[in-house]
Amino acid sequence: MQMPPGKPQWWHQILPKSVLIKIALPIIIIISWEVLSVLIDNPFILPSIESVLLVLSEPFADILGSGSLVGNALVSLSRVLIGFIIAAGLAIPLGIGMARNGKVHDFFDATLQVFRPIPPLAWVPLALAWFRIGLLSMVFIIAIGAFFPILLNTLDGVKSIKKTWTEAAHTLGAKERQVLVNVVLPGAAPTIWTGLRVGFGIAWMCVVAAEMMPGTNSGIGYLIITSYNWGQVQVIIAGIIIIGVIGLGIDYLFKIVERKKFMWRELDR
Partner 1 sequence: MTLILKNIGKEFEQRDIRSPALVSINLEVEEKEFTCVLGPSGCGKTTLLRIIAGLEKPTSGKVIIGGEIVSGPTSRMVMIFQDYSLFPWRTVIDNIAFGLEMKGIGKEERQKKAVHYLDLVGLSGFEENFPYELSGGMRQRVAVARALAIDPSVLLMDEPFGALDAQTRNMLQRQLLEIWDKTKKTVLFVTHSVDEAVFMADRIIVLTSRPGTIKEVVTIDLPRPRDRTSQDFATVRRYVLSLIDEPQSIQ
- 55 with 63: CB under 8 angstroms? yes
C-alpha–C-alpha distance, residues 108 and 86, integer Å = 18
Residue 167 touching partner 1 (CB under 8 A): yes
Please tell me whether residue 268 binds partner 1 under the rule CB under 8 A: yes
Alpha helices, H only, 102-232: 102-115, 124-131, 135-159, 163-171, 176-179, 185-210, 220-229
Q: Which is nearer to partner 1, 169 or 233 (CB)?
A: 169
Q: Which stretch binds partner 1 (CB under 8 A): 18-26, 111-119, 214-222, 260-268?
A: 260-268
Q: How far apart are CA 184 and CA 158, in angstroms?
A: 6
- Is residue 260 part of the contact set for partner 1 (CB under 8 A)? no
- Give 132 or 175: the residue with its C-beta nearer to partner 1: 175
The least CB distance from residue 104 to partner 1, in Å, is: 22
Using a 10 angstrom Cβ sphere, with 0-12 exposed, 13-18 middle and 19 or more buried, the burial of residue 209 is middle
Would you mind telling me the total number of residues written for the chain in this entry? Answer: 269
Q: Of 96 and 124, which has the nearer Cβ to partner 1?
A: 96
Q: What is the distance between the alpha carbons of residues 91 and 95, in angstroms, rounded to a whole number?
A: 6
Q: Which of 81, 170, 180, 205 binds partner 1 (CB under 8 A)?
A: 170
Select from 4, 5, 65, 173 the one that contacts partner 1 (CB under 8 A). Answer: 173
Nearer to partner 1, 43 or 186 (CB): 186
DSSP element (H, E) containing 93: helix 69-100
Q: Does 169 bind partner 1 (CB under 8 A)?
A: yes
Looking at residue 176, its amino acid is E
The interface region with partner 1, picked from 121-129, 137-145, 164-172, 252-260 by CB under 8 A, is: 164-172
Lay out the site mask for partner 1 across 176-215 (x = CB under 8 A, - = otherwise).
--x---xx--xx-x--------------------------
Separate counts of helices (H) and strands (E) for the chain: 13, 0
Binding site for partner 1 (CB under 8 A): 162, 164-165, 167-175, 178, 182-183, 186-187, 189, 262, 264-265, 267-269
